């Protein structure tokens, strides 16, 4: 048996739980000068992240958030335009069917025309957004880094 284990005593080279807890919770006992403070540690972490290219500036974070919101808004706009095109064209077809007495043929025809118009509009909108994104990417590549 090891010394001190039979009697249940703690070896003297290790601090007791009371000593450890008093050092951690006692505000009068400042940490030793060789221990880095949390501010120093945070600064070192930030510096390492910046040097590794992981740290984003506030402007970069704001641009990322704005871009995500703009993309979500564009997606909603496209989906709403498709639904509106379907509803409007179906209503026009239904009205023409009612007027000419050709139920349901004109409504079905205009339903498909509305779907085609909505998809065509969505594709055109997506191509415009892609062209703007490519222009912004080219402008960013040509902008000198400082």
Which tokens belong to 132?
A: 């703007």
What is the domain partition of the chain in residue ranges?
Answer: 60-142
Q: What are the tens digits of pLDDT across the range 12-36?
A: 666 666 666 655 555 555 556 666 6
Q: What are the tens digits of pLDDT across the range 74-103?
A: 899 999 999 999 999 999 999 999 999 999
CB atoms within 10 A of CB 81: 16
- Greater model confidence, 1 or 43: 43
Please answer whether residues 85 and 45 qualify as being in contact, where contact means their C-beta atoms are separated by less than 8 angstroms. Answer: no
């Amino acid at each position: 048996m090891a010394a001190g284990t039979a009697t249940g005593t703690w070896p003297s080279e290790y601090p007791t739980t009371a000593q450890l807890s008093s050092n951690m919770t006692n505000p009068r006992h400042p940490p030793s000068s060789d221990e880095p403070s949390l501010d120093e540690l945070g600064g070192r972490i930030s510096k390492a992240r910046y040097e590794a290219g992981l740290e984003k500036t506030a402007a970069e974070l704001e641009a990322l958030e704005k871009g995500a919101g703009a993309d979500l808004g564009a997606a909603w706009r496209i989906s709403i335009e498709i639904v509106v095109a379907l509803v409007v064209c179906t209503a026009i077809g239904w009205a023409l069917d009612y007027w000419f007495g050709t139920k349901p043929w004109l409504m079905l025809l205009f339903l498909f025309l509305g779907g085609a118009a909505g998809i065509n509009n969505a594709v055109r909108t997506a191509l415009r957004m892609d062209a703007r994104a490519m222009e912004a990417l080219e402008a960013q590549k040509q902008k000198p880094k400082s």
